[in-house]
Structure 1
Amino acid sequence: MPARILIVSDAWTPQVNGVVRTLATVAAELSAMGHTVEVVGPDRFRTMPCPTYPDIRLSLLPRRRLIRIIEAFNPDALHIATEGPLGLAARAWARRRGFAFTTAFHTRFPEYVQARIGLSPGLAYRFLRRFHGAGQGVMVATDSLRAELSRRGFHRLRHWSRGVDLELFRPELRTEAPDFVDLPRPVFAYVGRVAVEKNIRAFLDLDLPGSKVVVGGGPQLADLKRSYPGVHFTGARFGTDLARAYASADVFVFPSLTDTFGLVVLEALACGTPVAAYPATGPRDILAGATVSVGAIDADLRQAALRALQADRADCRAYAETFSWRACAETFLTHLVPLHALHREAA
């Protein structure tokens, strides 16, 4: 039966990140399935730049306007995707009215805060446990993250994997991006946000043959350009240009230790490019299901990068094809709860 689904997220367009891509794609899939979906993001409110990350805008005092939007939409189900100002306001409204809702653990904010300002993550995790504990289910992208959060005292955890756009990200684009042509091979590439929590220096410090490429923008870009003049920095890329960059690399190196999934890993594999990563949540979970080599996971990232060169690019693509955005949307739908579920339980 078609449902009216409201998603509240502090991460939304024009931001470019895995949370936004996931929510936008899932919303489109749910709409195609016949549901009415609305995403409420900061673009509807007055905003201020996020401290230490001005590219991200945070909503200012959104409560009254958000309540009007929610009540005008009259949802059958409410999903609160993030723990920022909009998420807090939606959570407060639902709790005050006695309505049920679900949440998702998309981002390791405690580790991000620690990486940026050195604050111990313990206090942030206490806040997150309280935030998510008020809902009727917390969606998490991987089994290892689910186990970790369970150990940290989170409850009602629900597995919710991800998909990849197999039409956009494809091996046929391996005609070499124009600015890759003159680079010595093999080309080892990082693609994603250029920020301290992504641990990009761990990749750039590796002693590897060939060339290193960084595709993306972010607050650490200028600093890394100064520190690594021998690295090729392309800036942010989108659409086919982004997919061509993935496909033109020989290995995709993912040095992050804090991601909860890593959509970029699937995008690289869909382009036929093998992955090298640390044995961290996200890449460890994604690659664990492969029955053939589609890359390498190792605490020694250099060894992982060199071993990944031996992977078969056709196997990488075939494995990526097992991840479906439609399946992701269907799983999301099964985890939602009716807005009035708590009222029915009380009755």
Structure 2
Amino acid sequence: MRLTIVTDAWHPQVNGVVRSIENTNAELAKMGVSVSMITPAAFKSVPMPTYPEIRLSLTGPASIAKAIRDSKPDLIHIATEGPLGLLARRWCVKNQVAFSTSYHTRFPEYVAARLPIPLTWLYAYVRWFHRAGGACMVATESLKRELEAKKLGNLRLWSRGIDTQLFHPQPLEDEPFGLKRPIFMTVGRIAVEKNLPAFLDLDLPGSKVVIGDGPARNELAARYPDVLFTGVKHGKDLAYAYSQADVFVFPSKTDTFGNTILEALASGVPVAAYPVTGPIDILSDPEAGALDDDLKLACVKSLDASRTAARALAENYSWTAATRQFLDNVIEAKAQGRRRLRLRRRKAMRQALGS
């Protein structure tokens, strides 16, 4: 079976979309699925205004058409709503080829935070984009309900997993990073939509650590000189850093899941977050952290949470199970697309006979 994935989010970006696709691809290979990637790496691109880490591909319909045809796909999945995703959608619709999509990020809110475009227009675009596919995948039940309320249909669940061998509890140092405990840590993209000041402004005991990079890093590092900004960490270095935190703080209110929450839990670190989509779906055990509209209160409560319970909660998430869910959705999307095509043909035939 050959699957082609089209995504505007790919290396060198470091984010949940890229990590989710990478881990899914690794599991798909074990299942005997051959994956071809169509990403910005194959085309000329320019940095996105206000967010240079994201590259906007400069290509046209003919190039995307050739890339898709050359991959000879049995199945097509469009992961993002950006330039490549839009061109791939156009090709699939024009050629009556079924495809699936995924809603990884709050695209309307992220765009509205940077450009003066009304959210109503952006959600209209999202509905138009995803309705053409046979299935639109979302990570959580709460996000599914939220999008259904916004009249987005064809929604199917695609959860996430965690590498519990890489991310695991490790012995605690007295003063990790040369900082006094308790250590309150957050990990991820340093950008406006991540709501980092909500964490950095808190009056908390001990120390704060921010791991990651992004367009807001220099500004926030200057505003909060007492906070340690480490930059991006990978692999074992990242896993070790997680393991040394006393509390993982997730201040975002716009994420659709929160892969970093799972990474922290797998490292045995309790999580403090707002009770919003993502955290409210993952943090099902109150012993593994705290959710509260008062983020400081959630942080303080999490100091008394159980590191054992945090690890146990993470062990419920498997990339193998999540990938099987993904593959089932892609296969169902193709079947749904065929049903739609048959219905359109029957309708056209009835109209022709009626005329």
SS of 1:20's partner is: helix
Match of 1:286 in 2: 282
SS of 1:185's partner is: coil
Match of 1:134 in 2: 132
The answer (yes or no) to whether the contact 1:176–1:245 under 8 Å persists in 2 is no
2: CA distance between counterparts of 1:41 and 1:176?
A: 41
Amino acid at match of 2:204: L
SS of 2:5's partner is: strand
2: CA distance between counterparts of 1:181 and 1:231?
A: 12
Give the alignment of 1:147-166 within 5 angstroms: 147-166=145-164
Aligned residues: 341
Give the alignment of 1:82-93 within 5 angstroms: 82-93=80-91
Match of 1:98 in 2: 96
The answer (yes or no) to whether the contact 2:105–2:256 under 8 Å persists in 1 is yes
Q: 1:181: Cα distance to partner?
A: 4.3
Match of 2:350 in 1: none
2: CA distance between counterparts of 1:164 and 1:29?
A: 12
Q: Determine what percentage of the aligned residue pairs are the same residue.
A: 52
Q: Does residue 276 of structure 1 match 2:272?
A: yes
RMSD over equivalenced CA pairs, Å: 1.6
Match of 2:229 in 1: 233
Q: 1:13: Cα distance to partner?
A: 1.4
Match of 1:327 in 2: 321
Match of 1:190 in 2: 186
1: CA distance between counterparts of 2:91 and 2:129?
A: 13
2: CA distance between counterparts of 1:56 and 1:185?
A: 35
Match of 1:110 in 2: 108
Amino acid at match of 1:207: D
The answer (yes or no) to whether the contact 1:63–1:86 under 8 Å persists in 2 is no
Match of 1:306 in 2: 300
Q: 1:180: Cα distance to partner?
A: 2.6
1: CA distance between counterparts of 2:90 and 2:295?
A: 43
Give the alignment of 1:1-347 within 5 angstroms: 3-117=1-115, 119-172=117-170, 174-176=171-173, 180-288=176-284, 290=285, 292-336=286-330, 337-338=333-334, 341=338, 342-343=340-341, 346=345
Q: 1:39: Cα distance to partner?
A: 1.6
Report the TM-score when normalising by structure 1. 0.95
2: CA distance between counterparts of 1:183 and 1:114?
A: 37
1: CA distance between counterparts of 2:172 and 2:62?
A: 52
1:255-301 CA-to-partner distances (Å, cap 9, x unmatched) read: 0000000000000000000000001110111112x3x5100000000
SS of 1:338's partner is: helix
Amino acid at match of 2:151: G
The answer (yes or no) to whether the contact 1:190–1:213 under 8 Å persists in 2 is yes
> Which stretches in structure 1 are left out of the alignment for 5+ residues?
none
1: CA distance between counterparts of 2:30 and 2:341?
A: 30
SS of 2:304's partner is: coil
Find runs of 4+ consecutive structure 1 residues off by over 6 angstroms: none
The answer (yes or no) to whether the contact 2:103–2:138 under 8 Å persists in 1 is yes
1:148-191 CA-to-partner distances (Å, cap 9, x unmatched) read: 1000010111011100111111112x4449x8342111010111
2: CA distance between counterparts of 1:189 and 1:119?
A: 33
1: CA distance between counterparts of 2:121 and 2:341?
A: 33
2: CA distance between counterparts of 1:188 and 1:300?
A: 16
2: CA distance between counterparts of 1:268 and 1:68?
A: 41
1: CA distance between counterparts of 2:51 and 2:177?
A: 33
2: CA distance between counterparts of 1:284 and 1:52?
A: 30
Amino acid at match of 1:144: S
The answer (yes or no) to whether the contact 1:7–1:80 under 8 Å persists in 2 is yes
The answer (yes or no) to whether the contact 2:134–2:334 under 8 Å persists in 1 is no
Amino acid at match of 1:256: S
The answer (yes or no) to whether the contact 1:99–1:343 under 8 Å persists in 2 is no
1: CA distance between counterparts of 2:249 and 2:66?
A: 45
SS of 1:16's partner is: coil
Q: 1:117: Cα distance to partner?
A: 3.8
Amino acid at match of 1:85: P
> Which stretches in structure 2 are left out of the alignment for 5+ residues?
347-355
- Structure 1 118/273 Cα, relative in aligned 2: closer, same or farther at 3 Å? farther
1:40-59 CA-to-partner distances (Å, cap 9, x unmatched) read: 11101110111110111011
SS of 2:114's partner is: helix
2: CA distance between counterparts of 1:282 and 1:158?
A: 16
Report the TM-score when normalising by structure 2. 0.93
Amino acid at match of 1:243: A
Single out whichever of 59-68 and 110-119 deviates more from structure 2: 110-119
Q: Which has the larger radius of gyration?
A: 2
